[in-house]
Structure 1
């Protein structure tokens, strides 16, 4: 494969500064070029070569229910009934997320309409009430806690999360290896025979960023740089320009699999796929109380 620097870029490169370093004195700059179809193919080939695996939200949900059935069985628990409640919880989260998305769209339309009504001296329309879950708060808390306990105690789900976290890191890593042309950091950009930046070069960039900029709110710089490279590679140029770059608050340098989302739906997204606790609880699966 030819070196990326020899591939026509059809317009150009651009200079990028990680959002968390915006306004920081001496913030480094990074020159990224827009990717081509060949770059996308090279990225896919590299991800396959590294045997990167990923699992969907549905995969995780099914694993939760299967783990629950296989390891939580006892005479004291109605496994079928509880499994049905877990599925109902997931279905409710899906429905609520869609309802909130539709609600936000409607509110945006009403807001635009109200501007015209205000200019005409007419009464503005009221916003509709925010959608709510069909499951009462107590049940939601109980099932969310059960899901978290299942995930925390499950090696299988731990491996699934590990696979997804690795993919999130590597897709940014590979995108950056393909598209980064220059940086103001004192790091030589060394490339392999295919023209991609070497792993050692990218690790050196990450180390240098941590060395120079490691204050609160600045640790996400390398993650944001990789995210920008990924967006530039997989979105068309106009789409990339019109899309919002992830803010420091939504970018996760630890490699979370959570997608960046509207702030108004982040609360719902968090409860939709509960993250495992840092360490398994001290109680055994058989001690779960509902």
Structure 2
């Protein structure tokens, strides 16, 4: 009987998500800002998709990449927030083993996809500013589609080994995950086996999707800034730089918290667990919430279309 119970527990059918350990009494209050951010993210990204679809003048490479970013943000936050809210509101902590692995894949896959889209947007800005005469021929619709497909394939390829490796591990210590979602390292730490491969691979994925992508973006913007500073007038330099402003703000909002989370999770052993979890969730929710606001406010074509939409409704 004892052996049978041990065998069953080694391959648990469900995991228990604790939410935010130590802050269980405040789960209802924590749900308010997270739910608010989620609602804003949903409304904002669907608005971006609707405006680009219905406005023919926005059917161009930059706006296609913006639509890819909106879809990615919708999937990224929806893969975590509904389960988080069920924990906070209904104390529904159980999650099926396969569902847990699926959630893990979606989190890491679409995080990598979002990073790849920022590289694509940086390339778009590089061509538009450094070689404007060839922009329309370089970034045609088939090319944009190929870039989008490459970004999705890269994200999927990088993320798929995480759940596959986690699936092979025996879980004989506990099936309780001290987190609001099935984050890779949080789940792997429950295993009663050597997890060095999982840890090393997780670090490689984090490095390739954050550090390496930041290098590519930095190289692109180095060339962009050189082209901007070579323009003859101050007004021309300012106008050209402002076309990159929304992209740069979105990049900072995505990479700085993401890099901080990775560093604290790997090396910040003295940081409280609830801070890790709360900040990790903020990193998954803040970029999807901010991106439509940033691009909507700073992109004149989108801003004007939104104003016309509400003006017509008001009249």
Tell me the TM-score normalised to structure 2 length: 0.24
Tell me the TM-score normalised to structure 1 length: 0.25
Task: Point out the structure with the larger helix share.
Answer: 2
**Structure with larger RCO (C-alpha < 8 A, sep 6+):** 1
